[in-house]
Structure 1
Amino acid sequence: MAEKEGFAALVLRLRSEGISDLDLLTAVEQTPRSLFVPASAAEDAYSSRTIPIDCGAFMEGADLAVRLLSRLQVKLGQRVLEIGTGSGFTSAVLGRLAERVLTIDRYRTLVTGAQGRLDKLSMRNVVVRQADGINGMPGEGTFDRILVTGAFTSVPRFYAEQLVSGGMMIAPLMLENGTCLMVRLSKTGSRFEREDLFPVPYLPLTPHIAAAL
């Protein structure tokens, strides 16, 4: 019951922001957030609060998670790359919207946990890997959409080669004043058009695979 009530409250908040995409909201409804949050944070599963998870990482509040997916505009048949698997919640929602999702994280603990949750939901089109995502995933072909949840210090133009023409990437950018801004980069030919979206609470991307966790 708490799951249904939490989702209903989330939908009301999202609608007030102008987010009413039925495919997206259905995908969120079919992905129970309580499966992805630590047991101690169960009552915050659908709140806008940031939730700490293993390895010093965190889950975005439910509102921000869906807002990002709304701006990514994922469509059926697309390939999506996600840098920063975390709990696996966003990966699971993406898996209901896209043809194939490749999601990577530098922490083995997070990769294993996310894989287990995706298996419980029988999400066969989401591939989880432990990898260093600072340069994306060269060698994996091109993607229609890329979502990054660790901040860059400058616009990551090298990602352009990993996007199809007409593709789109959403990533956080650290500004000189120390704030972090989510930006949407749309690829036209070999150029990126940048659109500033809204402030976000992300930390800078860390290179290399984590050895211990």
Structure 2
Amino acid sequence: MEAVSADPFRAARFILQLRQQGIRDDAVLSAMETVDRRDFVDKSLHKLAAEDAVLPLGCGQVLPKPLTIAQLLTALEVTPGGKENVLLVGVGSGYTAALLAKLAGKVWAVDRYRTLVEAARSNLDALGIRNVSLRQADGLAGWREHAPYDRILATGAVTKIPDDVVTQLTAGGKVVAPVAGADGRQTLRAVTKEGARTHSPLAEPFLPLVEGLAEAL
């Protein structure tokens, strides 16, 4: 599949839309310009891949809008240079993992659905992305074997960022996740290893992260 940048007009429109919606991080925009969403969805959805639209995946999951993913990556503040160790909770079809692979040194990614992990691995392998390791696991427990992480990103909503995940951060590290309040509304929450917290609005809500492994899928 051709990269977004292979079509300069399509790429320019895609990035312009993100800039108009408030995304200013050049590293994030560059990654999103070079990783094509069409490589991570069914062929029947290719025409929608460059739009700011939620796209269906297997296992009842979805690929969030580009704007929402850009908000997560911007809040994560991966240091330019590609040396940081990042844990991704919620693999989906591998799109966010591919973006992180452009930003970080190494990406460790987990998902409760074996089917999604296998699909993501196939998608990433097809693109020659080698700095992402995946496994089926309970994302709410992190991936302690490869801790500590400089950054941890969750692509599903939680009611509270688990302490067990925060303990897997390096000193000065940060976890970013959509957090649902008592009223069900979600905000983008960032928590550092030292306990500093920030929050900001989200463009759209995320599906919840579910504890444990999926048995059938």
TM-score, normalization: structure 2?
0.90
Pairing 1:207–2:193 present: no
2:13 corresponds to: 9
Pairing 1:66–2:88 present: no
Closer, same or farther: CA 54–193 of 1 in aligned 2, 3 Å = same
Deviates most, 96-105 or 23-32:
23-32
Closer, same or farther: CA 21–173 of 1 in aligned 2, 3 Å = closer
Q: Indicate the RMSD between aligned Cα atoms, in angstroms.
A: 1.8
Structure 2: segments with no counterpart, 5+ residues: none
Partner letter of residue 15 of structure 1? R
What does 1:84-123 align with in structure 2 at a 5 Å threshold?
84-123=90-129
Is this contact kept in 2: 1:10–1:63, CA < 8 A? no
Q: In the aligned structure 1, how far is the partner of 2:198 from the partner of 2:43?
A: 37
Q: In the aligned structure 2, how far is the partner of 1:54 from the partner of 1:154?
A: 26
Q: Secondary structure at the match of 2:140?
A: coil
What's the offset of the Cα at 1:2? 9.9
Q: In the aligned structure 1, how far is the partner of 2:187 from the partner of 2:12?
A: 28
What's the offset of the Cα at 1:181? 1.8
Partner letter of residue 176 of structure 1? A
Partner letter of residue 104 of structure 2? A
Closer, same or farther: CA 6–55 of 1 in aligned 2, 3 Å = farther
Pairing 1:37–2:44 present: no
1:133 corresponds to: 139
2:196 corresponds to: 193
Q: How many residues align?
A: 210
Closer, same or farther: CA 197–26 of 1 in aligned 2, 3 Å = same
Q: Deviations over 1:138-157 (max 9, x none)?
A: 23220000000122222423
Deviates most, 196-205 or 14-23:
14-23
Which of residues 148, 156, 163 in structure 1 aligns to 2:162?
Answer: 156
Runs of 4+ more than 4 Å apart:
none
Q: In the aligned structure 1, how far is the partner of 2:10 from the partner of 2:120?
A: 22
Q: In the aligned structure 1, how far is the partner of 2:66 from the partner of 2:109?
A: 19
TM-score, normalization: structure 1?
0.91
Which of residues 4, 26, 29 in structure 2 aligns to 1:25?
Answer: 29
Q: % of aligned pairs identical?
A: 38
Deviates most, 134-143 or 109-118:
134-143
Partner letter of residue 197 of structure 1? S
Which of residues 55, 62, 70 in structure 1 aligns to 2:59?
Answer: 55
Deviates most, 67-76 or 142-151:
67-76
Partner letter of residue 32 of structure 1? D
What's the offset of the Cα at 1:176? 0.7
